[in-house]
A and B are shown apart, each in its own frame.
Chain A
Amino acid sequence: MNNGLTVDQILVQAVALTLLYATPYLFAALGEVFVQRSGVLNLGVEGMMLMGAFSAVYAVSQGAHPLIGLGVAMGVGAAFGAAMAFVNVTLQAEQGISGIGFTLFGLGLSTLLFKLLSGGVIVADGLDPINIPVLSDLPVVGRILFQQNILTYAAFALVPISMWVLNKTVWGLNIRAVGQNPAAADAMGVNVVRVRYSTCILGGVLAGVAGASLSIALTNIFQENMTEGRGFIAVALVYFGGWSPLRVMFGALLFSIANNLQIWVQILDVRIGGAPIPPNLLVMVPYVLTIAVLIFARQRRRLEPAALTKAFRRGEN
């Protein structure tokens, strides 16, 4: 049984959907790359995504243009990023613990606001896919590359931009220096605190966009806890990709395509020896795959920032 679709057609659809559903992971993980490359671990991505998802869709449901909604999500994300920088950099809290605190805070606050401000599921007209004229009619690549959501284009454009910023700009150099050896960077006149604040705020903004991509691009709704652990997957993807934006993108793509293909396996009722494969096993595949790659690709850790999770105190490092 193949629903009249050829394998080619299925693959085109699978890849197109993979790019779309990789969008939130990509935004959140790229933000986390910046944060971690500067030596800060942000485990609060999940909570920031939830706040971004809620604030974007709420703004849109109140009549704002979806791009304004996106801006609101970025603002809320920036505020959370700044708060996290204050806790982790200024107050020098234990980063693993404070991150979980921010996740729980974001979950609680987004749920509370959702209950207070809406009577139920929020539905709003979000960002529609953009069909690029002419190009979107091309066979194969037209569907895959030129009929996507604006946020999907932005997410993938952000990959080379992130690489350029991290590797070719002064700010990127400062980020890497602060993440590897903050004492040396400090001695060279780099303001460690300011650099870390900037990356935390950027990480918050991108987590907010990641959340908004769930609530006003992939779907046009908000439900409490709608991120369902995607923020933590994003953090795992940063380790998976060895702190390189390009490899993080490959990680996000691998995770998403594994997920989309397991849906196709269910839809096409693929059987092994006549017996259907239990769906519970199939939905585990992307997660198991991610863990397996994390275990077997340890050499990729070479970019790991030496000062990751370590607070900087002048004169003590």
Chain B
Amino acid sequence: MKLTRLIIIVAALLMSVAAVNAQAPFRVAIVMPSSTTDLAWSQSIFDALVSIQTEMGGEGMMEIAFTEGMFDVTAAAQALRDYAESGYDLVIAHGTQYGTSLFELAPDYPETAFAWGTATDTGTDAGLTNIFAYEAAAEQGGYINGVMAGLLTESGVIGIVGPVAAGDALLYINGFLQGVAASNADANVIVAYTGSFGDTAAAAEVAQTQVAAGADVLTGSAQQVVGAIDVVEAEGGLWFGTQSDQSLNWAETVVASQVYDWTGILSDMIAKVQAGELGGTAYNLTLENEGLTFAFGEVEIPADVTAAAEAAVAEIIAGDIEVLQALPEVTPEPS
């Protein structure tokens, strides 16, 4: 009896020591404005986190906590603070609009690493050392999509379904406009904004109105675009996507999607945090660092269009083409 008990106690002690020695999982928390399945902004980073988790060896090695649908910035700030309070190693605020809240709470948790985007400010000027910033050079992929759209349009009219003229949506649209101008100077690009990021029916109406105005190739940004793609498919047009691969449900309509691949920068961020470096780096997804990639549907793309797109990618990487983030203000021609 006594011997058995002794063995059990020793075994238990050994196991507890082993448990302490085993590496605790890396804990990541993320707060995002829309859902993890929005086929756009939020899904792009969530998919990246899940793929890193799989690579690291599953939930035992990396834990992901997320709060989605946080259009309300105050509620998002609360969620961020809760995650920091609960001791997560890396807390990500996936939206420009969360920046102010993040800068307020980061000093209270100097042991926690924070990250936010779309942003370039790591708070170093404000004396903060635990913030990473990230952004996507959406204008680069927008340019490539624009080059292809300019060559594919038959009517000469291209529609852009914008959400709100700001942030990464505006970068994408400006890049797209430059791409169309480069490949088809005669094309008429019509732009209309819905004033919302998530109103799918409003995006559908804008797209349908643009089709009525003659557009046969369209693009757009934010999670609202599923409504627009659906209308474009019904009207037999073509669509160019951004943020996530949008061809899954509409393979015969979506020509190409610019995909934000956050895995590279997130892996780097996690490695830095594990090494004790909690912030200070600003990342940018570009064609060059392969953070911007393209996904294709089942639309047959003529060889010359593919060639033009590939050439443009090479030229952007080589620095021969500089895609501007903002368009120079042009004075309208007298009509």
**Do these two chains interact?**
yes
> Could you say which of B165, B193, B230 contacts A220, with CB atoms under 8 Å apart?
B230
Q: CB < 8 Å: which of A119, A120, A267 contacts B210? A: A267
Decide: A267 near B190, CB < 8 A? Known: A1-B335, A219-B204. yes
Flag B167-206 by CB within 8 Å of A: 1 or 0 each: 0000000000000000000001011111110111110111
Q: Which residues of B contact A267 (CB under 8 A)?
A: 159, 190-192, 209-210, 213
Q: Is the CB of B192 within 8 A of A279?
A: yes
A223 adjacent to chain B (CB < 8 Å) = yes
A264 within 8 A of B: yes
> Which listed residue (B191, B196, B230, B231) contacts A228, Cβ 8 A?
B196
B208 at the interface (CB under 8 A from A): yes
* B162 engages A119 (CB within 8 Å): no
Chain B residues in 8 Å Cβ range of A223: 38, 198, 200, 223, 226-227
Contact with B along A179-212 (1 / 0, CB 8 A): 0000000000000000000000000000000000
| Closest-CB distance, A74 to chain B (whole angstroms) | 20
Residues in chain B near residue A20, CB distance under 8 A? 208
A5 and B214 contact, CB distance less than 8 A = yes
- CB contact under 8 A between A218 and B202, given known A3-B188, A17-B209, A267-B213: no
Q: Which of A21, A271, A284 contacts B205 (CB 8 A)?
A: A21
> With A1-B188, A120-B39 as given contacts, are A13 and B212 in contact (CB-CB < 8 Å)?
yes
Judge whether B306 is part of the interface by a CB distance below 8 angstroms.
no
Q: Decide if B37 is an interface residue (CB 8 Å cutoff).
A: yes
A263 at the interface (CB under 8 A from B): yes
Interface: B90 (CB within 8 A): no
Distance of A165 from chain B, by nearest CB (Å): 28
CB within 8 Å of B: which A226-276 residues: 226, 228, 230, 259-260, 263-264, 266-269, 271, 274
A62 contacts the other chain (CB 8 A)? no
Give B194 Cβ to nearest chain A Cβ, in Å: 7
Residue A123 at the B interface, CB < 8 A? Answer: yes
Q: Which of B280-317 contact A (CB under 8 A)?
A: none
A3 touches B213 (CB 8 A): yes
A263 to B196, CA, bound (A): 13
CA distance A127 to B37 in the complex (A): 25
Q: Is B157 an interface residue (CB 8 A)?
A: yes
- Would you mind naming 11 contact pairs between A and B with Cβ atoms under 8 Å apart? A1-B188, A3-B188, A3-B213, A13-B209, A120-B43, A121-B226, A219-B231, A223-B226, A223-B227, A228-B202, A284-B195
8 closest Cβ contacts across the A-B interface? A283-B195, A120-B37, A266-B192, A279-B193, A13-B212, A228-B199, A267-B190, A123-B249
Chain A residues near B (Cβ < 8 Å): 1, 3-5, 10, 13-14, 16-17, 20-21, 24, 111, 119-121, 123, 128, 214, 218-221, 223-226, 228, 230, 259-260, 263-264, 266-269, 271, 274, 278-280, 283-284
Interface contacts beyond A3-B188, A267-B159: sample of 12 additional A-B pairs, CB < 8 Å, sorted by A:
A3-B190, A3-B213, A120-B39, A121-B38, A123-B249, A218-B204, A221-B230, A223-B198, A224-B35, A228-B199, A267-B213, A279-B165
